[in-house]
Amino acid sequence: MPVYQYKGWDAKGKKTDGVVDAESPKAARIKLKREGVYASDLTERALKPDKPWNISISFSRGTGRIGSREVSVSTRQMSTLVGAGLPIVSALNALIEQVENEGLKGVFADVRERVNEGASFADALAAHPRVFNDLYVNMVRAGETSGALEVVLERLADFLEGQNVLRGKIIAALIYPTIMVLVGSGLLFFMITFVIPQVRTIFEETGRALPLPTQFLLGSTALIRTWWWLIVILLAGAVYGFRRFIRTENGRRWYDDYRLKTPIFGNLILLIALSRFTRTLATLLTSGVTLIRSLDIVKHVVNNTLIREAIEKARDSISEGSNFAEPLRQSRFFPPIVTHMVAIGERTGELEDMLSRVADAYDTDVETKIQAMTSVMEPVLIVVMGAVIGFIVVSVLLPILQMAQGF
């Protein structure tokens, strides 16, 4: 059923806006009039399907862009409404009135209509993979089947909020180094563009032989100023070619393997992937999703081809009757702590709890390593920027000192 965005006035004469679902614009106006709203503007919204979201952060409010922060808040509200005993349709009606994001409001309006037409809540959510990915839909389906939808929605909200917090900490830790790089690059651009050309003119007028550092500096800046457009084209071409390469199967495998082998950063990337793997798998299993289906879902969360293939091998081994810990132990990506905790969980029947403990440990480890890396990056960046600027200063001062000694 189409969804319409409207602007108008309510019964008290105040301006109002929102979305409404109806068969036609006329039906939408009649429906709004019954609710005491007189629409002055009515436009149909197109709900575009897209690929499933990855865990991300969106700071938009009241716009059509939908981020996981809005989804997690709405999930928490939906859990509260369902826990209060409201039917799904009534809970969705109340939720639509509270949602500020117009895009998400339209999505929930469409979900409500699908539920009214007889679809399950999970199937209605699955019609919007751009907002609700496989993990979300399967957990909701498991909650509907087991009669514990309120609990599953609460776990989903906890999971999304936890992922947002982790991502926020990573971004916050990288803000200062990023600002330093931008400021340093801006300073170098200013010196190359404005300062050094004026110094070059002064040196050329003296007619003296310049020191090698000064010649190198002037030659480099002249090359950049003359061929900057070619440099930009080459860099853009290299970036485009690299992006095309890593979109191929072999290119993606090489890139994912290279990232894991990178000093310092490779270990951090692996820790983040393992944290996502254990946290997501624990959440799915706790919500009643089967292990095989959970592995099918969680393999897309790790964001690494090689680790995904290891998870697929583990799933195939389990389908053939093997335990869960052994295929993980045979892979080089899962440390002993993961395999031991999985083995203990399988023996004791507490696999979900063991995976949650591992995820907590990895989240703490990731946060600690990021803080340590940023604390090291800051002085390294300062030293590098100081060396570059120091070279420029020395290159400029050397001929000036030569001229002073000549006089």
Classify residue 57: in a domain, yes or no: no
How many structural domains are present in the chain? 3
Residues 141, 100, single domain; the answer is: yes
What is the predicted pLDDT for the residue at 50? 40
- Same-domain pairing of 206 and 232: yes
H helices of 191-211, in order, are 196-206
Residues 278 and 360 in one domain: yes
Q: What's the pLDDT score for residue 13?
A: 62
Query: pLDDT tens for residues 66-111?
Result: 777 888 888 888 888 888 888 888 888 888 888 888 888 888 888 8
Task: Confirm whether pTM is higher than 0.85.
Answer: no
Q: Are residues 104 and 203 in the same domain?
A: no
Question: DSSP assignment, residue 8?
Answer: E
The answer to whether residue 213 sits within a structural domain is yes
DSSP assignments along 117-143, one per residue: TT--HHHHHHT-TTTS-HHHHHHHHHH
Question: Is 379 within the bounds of a domain?
Answer: yes
Residue 53 lies in a domain: no
Residues 122, 27 share a domain: no
Same domain, 181 and 154: no
Asked whether residue 381 falls in the same domain as residue 261, the answer is: yes
Q: Provide the 3-class DSSP secondary structure of residue 312.
A: helix
Regions of the chain where pLDDT drops below 70: 1-3, 9, 11-13, 21, 40, 45-64, 206-207, 406-407
Q: Are residues 103 and 228 both part of a single domain?
A: no
C-alpha dihedral sign at 115, 117, 118, 124: negative
Question: What is the domain-level CATH number for residue 232?
Answer: 1.20.81.30
Secondary structure letter of residue 191 according to DSSP: I
Q: Give the model confidence (pLDDT) of 201-217 as tens digits.
A: 777 776 677 788 888 88
Q: At 123, phi and psi to the nearest 5? A: -65, -35
Amino acid letter, 184: G
Residue 61 lies in a domain: no
Tokens 């690299």 locate to 242
pLDDT value, residue 54: 40
Cα distances (angstroms) measured from residue 221 to each of 59, 198, 238, 368, 392: 40, 12, 22, 41, 11
Helix axes of 305-319 and 291-298: crossing angle, nearest 10 degrees: 170
Cα–Cα distance for residue pair 212/26, rounded to 1 Å: 80
Predicted confidence at residue 282, as pLDDT, reads 87
Q: Are residues 135 and 205 in the same domain?
A: no
Q: What share of the chain is helix, strand, coil (3-state, %, to 5)?
A: 75, 5, 20
**What residues make up the domain containing 22?**
3-45
Q: What's the Cα-to-Cα distance from 126 to each of 110, 120, 122, rounded to whole Å? A: 11, 10, 6
Residues 220 and 112 in one domain: no
Burial 14-44 (b: 16+ CB within 10 A, else e): eebebbbbbeeeeebbebbeeeebebeebee
Same domain membership, residue 192 and residue 118: no
Is there a single domain that holds both residue 388 and residue 246? Answer: yes
With respect to residue 170, please indicate whether it lies within any of the assigned structural domains.
no
In a domain, 275, yes or no: yes
354 falls within a domain: yes
